[in-house]
Chain A
């Protein structure tokens, strides 16, 4: 599904070229649950941004379902992102001025989903995450774990095939983190491809593949057997 070949990302400073990612070759199949780990500053977020089409400033080839992403026009790339990807953030990044319901609804608005369909999708998600009673609250009125659940609901509202999560549990207590990971595992069982970056060993256990990133390179690529 995703195929990266020889991806480099670097920044040019005055005296030298600093590589953030160097020679990344990576293939991810549909339905995988991949965890990126590694020391701080290793390049995990950078890699996620490239995979998630938020960053197009790199060299190398990126194939998505056989299409060359790095050769696409801005518009095509945007359409692809909208269709296939969902993002989850460490700091949840909900829109403070919108209610839980409205936050989940937002991606659907950008996908021209009809109003009745929107209603049923959002209602289903609220139900699934046990948030029905909280639908009219604002993000500031929720706990961190609840906010991240809304973040996930929002990310999957558009039914993406790939879910990208950068330290989704970084701001949460271990109990809340566990809950989130279980949701991920369930989504993965339903067929969603998940790529997450994390520092917590126990989170990796939910996935079926672990990539060790060190200094912009993939140091290790293990299959996890449950």
Chain B
């Protein structure tokens, strides 16, 4: 019996090779999509699972609530929080604080200064780091590394700085910048395996926290709660109740900050989040940590399922169409003694065969396009899914669900044919299932149209953000980090000053400015204590800012609505407030009726000497913030406005000058507009993936349409022949055959439009600056769907219409 089924199934596949190819190919593509997406999703969910203590590690964040308003979340804490929690509750087994290198550090091989590079992946960590987290050491003793005066680095960093030499016992110099120059000399006593990609902690160098604490500001315990530079992790005892822990932590936190908070009418609460979940949690953004997005993950899960569903519907649709041609076989089988369940079983096992081939094909396609997907999505997927046991648990289940979904309806439909009806007369055909088929086509196209509208909206939005007027001019601005290695006895400010003077004499160089941060790189500091100097502390608000020099405003084309900065001196007499500029938003937030009114006012952070027209320091994802610029001559970043001509020569001239003035410092430059565009990297990626999946969905839907069109035209060959004999024109026949499909697509547009409108509206809410949804986006998507569908259908229709009617009539 089995052999008979398989034989029939196999011969049926070969009888209509094109039809079978469409059928299997469509499903194969759907399965490939699903596999890739699930691979990606599994990768995103695998973050930080490799730590032995993964289930006991928690990230500590705290939220500040002022005047019982909206809480503001802080993912970083002060340096005293970790020790206080560990000391004052028994629940904490150990804690680790991580202080990332905010910005970049210069690292050099102490013995071979040629090996000097700018490094961003530098963490200052507590000595418990390797006990809490699981990062295997290649060299070194886990209990000895991170002792004062030592340093550990990754295998690839070791290669970069020491080549094939054994790095143990050699030393590195790390020069960072935290509001001032910071220098550390450490002897390498450990090398760890390169950090896996599915780790949110991404680092090349670990410097013991004791090194950082040499800085004088850490002698003052009061800085230990207010300066939120440290990311704190705790390892809790396995049976701890997380709710109870949050309550205890909050109590401890409040106890230590009581005085401070009472003045400003602030309360705070502490939240511990499982370490494994932090990566996908959009609300917990951490500086210099890998960040995923649960929203994106869920989006792709949905897209994957939709693609699979479209492919399945396709398959069902084509099976139904194909089934009609087999009505006679069913009739015969019944007449010779088959029972209904035997027929159902036969058709289900046939669909199992097809699904099996499709699955194999799907795996092949997925493996084949993996590299393309990796470059498109900017991910490093490898196929490990089938090595995990969970996969083999879920996959057979999925396989059977697919077989059931795709095989059951055609099987039930077929097995219910009465042999008496289908064996009548000479022909043995039967019509049926057309409602279902039309329904499936409408569904497929409705989804395709939603995706098409989505594509248009996503592209418009990304384009809009990228070309949005920022209120700043980033064109032709090059930045180089200022020098970090300054010889003893040299004043950094003066050295930079001399450099910029020499630089400005180069002809294509325009303005030169220095600042604490640059557009697209975020602000240099944030504060919760911004207010009028005269106002009560309970009126404090949040603000962010950076230091700038006096040329900065001009270079970036920022517009002053009040005040000026010409001839301002950086030095203010002892006891007088420093000079600051604020933006319009800040002026309004502080309660000034007009931004101008803020001029000359004294604020918590200094005297307002200028008010700037609003601008966008960060991407369009974020609304404008209250912004403070304070004047300082000594800043880490140097911005240089360049002309457009002779760019390579200019850059090498700047490099030569840089090397001459700041010997030993690596020269690294970037263009601000390009860096700013990096903020939209994820959006671009999203848009690209959206296009890929939309095209796939439409492609599969069109395959289905093509299969169906082939089938219906074949069924109507006789009708077409008769019509032609009676004098119908080719175009008339094409119109006749296409009309039905157009009707279905129109219905799909009707269903898809409100869904697309709702979904895309929701999506746009993620952006502070959004485009408006316009009617033409829907009409455009609908038209595109109709055109694509017509092209697909009419190819078949034209073929049928051009056929010699004598042939078609004779063959009947």
Residues on A lying within 8 angstroms of B by beta carbon are: 45, 49, 54-55, 78, 81-82, 87, 89-91, 93-98, 102, 105-107, 109-111, 154-155, 158, 171
Contact = CB atoms under 8 A, between A and B. Distances in A.
Interface stretch (B178-186, B418-426, B462-470): B418-426
Interface string B1-16: 1001001100110010
A93 B12 CA distance: 17
A95 B337 contact: no
Contacts of B15: 97
A54 B419 contact: yes
A112 B302 CA distance: 47
A111 B335 CA distance: 13
B511 interface: no
B513 to A, nearest CB: 80
A82 B7 contact: no
Contacts of B426: 90-91, 171
A103 B8 CA distance: 11
A208 to B, nearest CB: 26
Which of A49, A93, A155 has its CB near the most chain B CB atoms (within 10 A)?
A: A93
A49 B419 CA distance: 10
B438 interface: no
Interface stretch (B48-56, B269-277, B326-334, B599-607): B326-334
A158 B328 contact: no
B1 A97 contact: no
Interface of B is mostly: helix
Given A82-B337, A102-B4, 8 more contacts: A54-B420, A93-B335, A96-B329, A97-B11, A98-B4, A106-B336, A107-B337, A110-B342
A94 B12 contact: no
A4 B1 CA distance: 36
A107 B420 CA distance: 17
A82 B419 CA distance: 14
Interface residues of B, number: 27
Contacts of B337: 81-82, 107, 110-111, 158
Nearest to A87: B335
A107 B4 CA distance: 11
B338 interface: yes
B335 A94 contact: no
Interface in B378-427: 418-420, 423-427
A66 to B, nearest CB: 23
Pairs of residues from A and B, 8 with the lowest C-beta to C-beta distance, nearest first: A107-B336, A82-B337, A110-B337, A97-B11, A54-B420, A87-B335, A91-B426, A93-B332
Contacts of B418: 54
A213 B215 CA distance: 114
B9 to A, nearest CB: 9
B336 A154 contact: yes
Contact of A93 (B1, B328, B338, B342): B328
B428 interface: yes
A55 B420 contact: yes
Contacts of A98: 4, 7-8, 11
B339 interface: yes
B427 A95 contact: no
A54 B428 CA distance: 15
Contacts of A54: 335, 418-420
A41 to B, nearest CB: 13
A90 B332 contact: no
A110 to B, nearest CB: 4
A102 B333 CA distance: 12
